[in-house]
Structure 1
Amino acid sequence: MSSKSQELVVVTGASSGIGRATAKRLAADGFHVLAGVRRQEDASEINGKNIEAVIVDITNVDTLKALAERVEHDRLGRPLRAVVNNAGIAVNAPIEMVPLDELRHQIEVGVIGQVAVIQALTPALLTSGGRVVNIGSLGGKVSMPGFGIYSAAKFAMEAINDSLRREMVPFGLKVIMITPGGVSTGMSEKGITTMERLARLMTPDQHRRHDRLFAAVKAQAETWARSGARPEKAAAVISRAIRERRPSTRYMVGRDSALLTRLVRFLPDRLLDRMLRSHMKLQ
């Protein structure tokens, strides 16, 4: 794309993992990427051809206002093709012992922050006939033992995504959900760090009940970090969703995502419970 025809794409959470891979892929595709990062050191690392780092904390309204102004007053008058709602965190621990402040933080980042990004950029997207690309998760389709807090945010985003898509049909705004399965990203490693910190808060009784579950959750996260799909695979799917003239409403990333999302629809609850506990070696 020439500078005259080049379009903008906003990618949040671009400092690592799927966000970073997506920013690079879209830049290679010819888009001018506004790569949202929270720290200046991350900005220095990702800046490059067709990638312009912008400081964005999705829980900070002021940074979102600044992002919207950057898009509105682009010096080349480039339209906003898409926003990729990718920034997120993972709080993984048994429900009975998760501090409520940790639950609030997961919802603040994983739901409220996502909506704040959409609200900030909707005027520009409506003007350009753009699209919202929400990065969901297999955790938004099935809630595994120990992953309930993270899944709560992802299930909520499924509802928000569907409602927004149906609300915006008359106005031409396309709303798309990307559902990755296990992906090798820094989020898995950060989730392990958070989980180990929370484990130190458990009472002796909670340790007796949940030490085995903590070990299983850690092992699952380590498996994803070690052998999950590469972030570049998710980035390729996101790029397709942005570039296709008539995109699908949903895209799966990975065989595990495609398989489990189908199984959840048909399996009885107790059979699915046994399968998931067996998969995590909790039987």
Structure 2
Amino acid sequence: MTKSAKQTESFAQEIIVVTGTSTGIGNATAKELASRGYYVLAGVRRDIDADAIRGTNIEPVILDITNQIHITNLVKRIKKDPEKRLLRALINNAAIEINAPLEVLHLSEWRRQFEVNVFGQVAMIQALLPSLFQSRGTIVNISSIGGKAAMAGYGPYASTKFALEGLSDALRRELQPFGVKVIVIEPGGVTSPMSLQVRSKAEKITNEMTSEQRSRYGGLMYAMVSLAESYIKNAVSAEKAGQIIANTITNKRTHTRYTIGQDAAMVRFMNWILPDRILDKLLAQSNKSHYPS
């Protein structure tokens, strides 16, 4: 048996849970890991998405990460695995993105976004940690470059990613003595159905503003959409992002954080070296260049 065949056989004895695999990064990551021989439990919210992703080494599971019953069922599935495979990794990818100026987004929408993007991640980690202790496995939290630098209008989503960055740092330091790794992925622009919904979401929020709010933020919302769509043209493919994430599981030596895309790397570098006021001016200029003329 060749070395690669032995490696694939070894991987086939391990499970990886990926949340939010209906589309985009999660879907691509699940397929990439399955192609490398891992057995992927792919979290989806609808039966139609389960049918679409089911395939060799991919078993879809109905998983809303804010639903404790779904999480409990997943834990039972792992513990009662017929092949007695260990859980190698949890990839926390499921998330929602709602962006708007702080004043105009209803508090219920803030809470909904935190329920999914923060508390749902915590719930998954708490539930699967016992299995990850056993395997000395890996937790990969999919953050965003917005978790490092928040542009005007991106406060709701960025706030959840800042929170995920902080809890990941604490978690990494808590779990290091027990051999469980925690890795953060910070994507910039990645082509996905979520990224293509920027305009429709922004138009809905703008239409729900009062006339006074539109006078304050209408130009900003237009600039946010224009800037986002310009990034999408040069965005990293979901497949490339999936390969980078899969590498964090398969590589023996890993960093604590990875960016995806040149835009993410640039923003992280600027955020690191520039004073806040200088960065504020640069980001404001970038926004203004996309305001309607």
* Deviation (angstroms), 1:224: 3.7
Tell whether the 8 Å contact from 1:188 to 1:224 is kept in structure 2 after alignment.
no
Q: Are 2:105 and 1:95 equivalent residues in the alignment?
A: no
In structure 2, what is the equivalent of residue 58 of structure 1? 65
Tell whether the 8 Å contact from 1:4 to 1:76 is kept in structure 2 after alignment.
no
Partner Cα distance (1:189, 1:11) in 2: 22
Tell whether the 8 Å contact from 1:19 to 1:86 is kept in structure 2 after alignment.
yes
Tell whether the 8 Å contact from 2:63 to 2:71 is kept in structure 1 after alignment.
yes
CA change 1:39–1:153 in 2 (3 A) is: same
Secondary structure at 1:186's aligned position in 2? coil
* Deviation (angstroms), 1:103: 0.5
Q: Are 2:207 and 1:200 equivalent residues in the alignment?
A: yes
Give the 5 Å matches for 1:71-110.
71-110=78-117
CA change 1:117–1:191 in 2 (3 A) is: farther
CA change 1:141–1:279 in 2 (3 A) is: same
In structure 1, what is the equivalent of residue 18 of structure 2? 11
Amino acid corresponding to residue 47 of structure 1 in structure 2: R
CA change 1:187–1:5 in 2 (3 A) is: closer
Equivalent residue for 1:260, pick from 256, 267, 292: 267
**Runs of 4+ with >6 A deviation:** none
Any stretches of 5+ residues in structure 2 without a counterpart? 1-7
In structure 2, what is the equivalent of residue 248 of structure 1? 255
* Deviation (angstroms), 1:209: 0.6
Secondary structure at 2:9's aligned position in 1? coil
Per-residue deviation, residues 98-140 of structure 1 (Å, max 9, x unmatched): 1000100111111001111111111111111111000111100
Amino acid corresponding to residue 83 of structure 2 in structure 1: L
More displaced, 144-153 or 239-248?
239-248
Amino acid corresponding to residue 60 of structure 1 in structure 2: N
Partner Cα distance (2:11, 2:67) in 1: 32
Normalising by structure 1, what TM-score?
Answer: 0.96
* Deviation (angstroms), 1:3: 7.7
* Deviation (angstroms), 1:200: 2.0
Partner Cα distance (1:239, 1:4) in 2: 12
Partner Cα distance (1:123, 1:139) in 2: 31
Normalising by structure 2, what TM-score?
Answer: 0.93
CA change 1:5–1:98 in 2 (3 A) is: closer
Secondary structure at 1:219's aligned position in 2? helix
Equivalent residue for 1:123, pick from 119, 124, 130: 130
Amino acid corresponding to residue 218 of structure 1 in structure 2: V
Q: Are 2:151 and 1:144 equivalent residues in the alignment?
A: yes
Q: Percent identity between the aligned chains?
A: 47
Secondary structure at 2:88's aligned position in 1? strand
In structure 2, what is the equivalent of residue 218 of structure 1? 225
Tell whether the 8 Å contact from 1:133 to 1:176 is kept in structure 2 after alignment.
yes
Partner Cα distance (1:224, 1:13) in 2: 23
In structure 2, what is the equivalent of residue 173 of structure 1? 180
Equivalent residue for 1:69, pick from 59, 71, 76: 76
Q: Are 2:224 and 1:188 equivalent residues in the alignment?
A: no
Partner Cα distance (1:199, 1:20) in 2: 31
Per-residue deviation, residues 78-111 of structure 1 (Å, max 9, x unmatched): 1111010000011111111110001001111110
Secondary structure at 1:97's aligned position in 2? coil
Any stretches of 5+ residues in structure 1 without a counterpart? none
Aligned residues: CA RMSD? 1.5
CA change 1:257–1:182 in 2 (3 A) is: same
CA change 1:132–1:224 in 2 (3 A) is: same
